Amino acid sequence: MALTTISEDEKRLVKDSWNLFVSRGDFSDTGSHMYKVLLQDNPHLKTLFSFMKVNGAPFDSPMFKSHVRNVFTVIGDAVNHIDDLDSLSPILKDLGVKHQGYGAKKEYLEPVGNALLCTIEKHLEDDFTQEVHSAWRTFFAVMSYSFAQGLDEDNGKDG
């Protein structure tokens, strides 16, 4: 996975579209679509999420809503650091290290990115232009690069 650069125009598009996305509602509602798409399209990933072990309706559980809020808060933090990628990179790498312990793998990043873009598109509707899509695709690649470095980290395990 190669490091991707993001242009000033792409940064502006990501920031502007994120602000619009945030204005559309609470993350636990707007962001829940991402996990529904991710897990519908990739049912083998369900075992990675503790909220899927909830009896009944896992997508209605407080555990799920809390997880979604946390993930989208981190995405918001990443957007807020988009002009200082050097400070964002170690944060995302640490998240990768943490998620390695949950069983996350680099090949899961693409379906997560697709589900994220699907979610942003759903809530931005006509404001989700091809340029916005491309900017988010680039930004997700930047985030994924650092996250994947954390997934690759040895963590002192025997190799």
Report the C-alpha gap between 146 and 96 in whole angstroms. 8
The mean pLDDT of 95-101, rounded to a whole number, is 94
Q: What are the two backbone dihedrals, phi and then psi, of residue 25, each rounded to the nearest 5 degrees?
A: 145, 180
Please check whether residue 159 lies inside any domain of the structure.
no
The count of domains in the chain is 1
pLDDT value at residue 159: 41
The CATH number of whichever domain residue 136 belongs to comes to 1.10.490.10
The reported pLDDT for the residue numbered 158 is: 41
Q: Is residue 16 part of a domain?
A: yes
Say whether 23 sits in a helix, a strand or coil.
coil
Pairwise CA distance, residues 145 & 81, whole Å: 15
Tell me how far apart the 2 most distant CA atoms of the chain are, in Å. 50
Identify the domain containing residue 101 by its residue range: 8-152
The model's pTM is: 0.90
Residue 128 DSSP one-character state: -
C-alpha dist (Å) from residue 106 to 1, 29, 38, 72, 146: 9, 27, 15, 20, 11
| Residue 159, SS3 per DSSP | coil
pLDDT tens-digit map of 2-50: 567 899 999 999 999 999 999 998 888 889 999 999 999 999 998 898 8
Does 108 fall in a domain? yes
